[in-house]
Amino acid sequence: MPSREDYNNLLGTLGQSAKDTYGYYIPSSLVTRKLLATSSWNNIISKNESGFNATATGHFLDLNRSTNPGFQNRNTETVFLTTSYYTELGGNWAQTPVSFRIYTVLNNNTVEIFSSFSDAIYRNADAGSLRFVKDN
């Protein structure tokens, strides 16, 4: 299973250059679009330039949550699990898993695509997508 560093390396190889204060890439819409599958994303056209083939599977939130339990955002989002935690933030964040999230936003009648490192999956009963990496 990939770490946040694996996703960070992927973003770098796709041409991302802007980084946050911790040294992680801030994914642009242009680079994010290279990760998308050619289908499954509502109103987004992609050529899957990277071969990553991210599909818009959504994610699942613990059924015991008080708000919005169950499957979320199919066709508009995907959340990939990583082996990493927000250790650089300290406190309770050090036990919060990092996810790699790709999602769409409707802005002035235009659908835009974004990605980010996220805390979208943080309970044991939450579920996201898995990608595996092969060491060279």
Residues 34-88 have pLDDT tens digits of: 999 998 898 888 889 999 999 999 888 888 776 778 888 888 999 999 999 998 8
Give dist(CA 24, CA 41) in Å, integer.
26
Residue 89: band (very low, low, confident or very high) from pLDDT cuts 50, 70, 90: confident
CA distances 78 to 36, 41, 75, Å, are: 10, 10, 8
pTM across the whole model: 0.86
The pLDDT value given to residue 64: 78
CA distances from 100 to 19, 54, 66, 79, 113 (A): 15, 11, 24, 6, 14
Model pLDDT, residue 135: 65
- The structure tokens listed for 61 are 């939130």
pLDDT (tens digit, 9 = 90+) per residue, 5-23?
999 999 999 999 999 999 9
pLDDT digits (tens, 9 = 90+) for 20-32: 999 999 999 999 9
Instruction: Let me know how long the chain is.
Output: 136
pLDDT at 33: 92
The reported pLDDT for the residue numbered 4 is 94
Amino acid at 69: P
**Sequence-separated (6 or more) residues with CB below 8 Å from residue 102:** 32, 35, 36, 54, 56, 77, 78, 79, 80, 113, 114, 115
**Spatial distance between the Cα atoms of 38 and 96, rounded to a whole number of angstroms:** 32
Q: What single-letter DSSP state applies at residue 64?
A: T
Paired strand residues for 72: 59
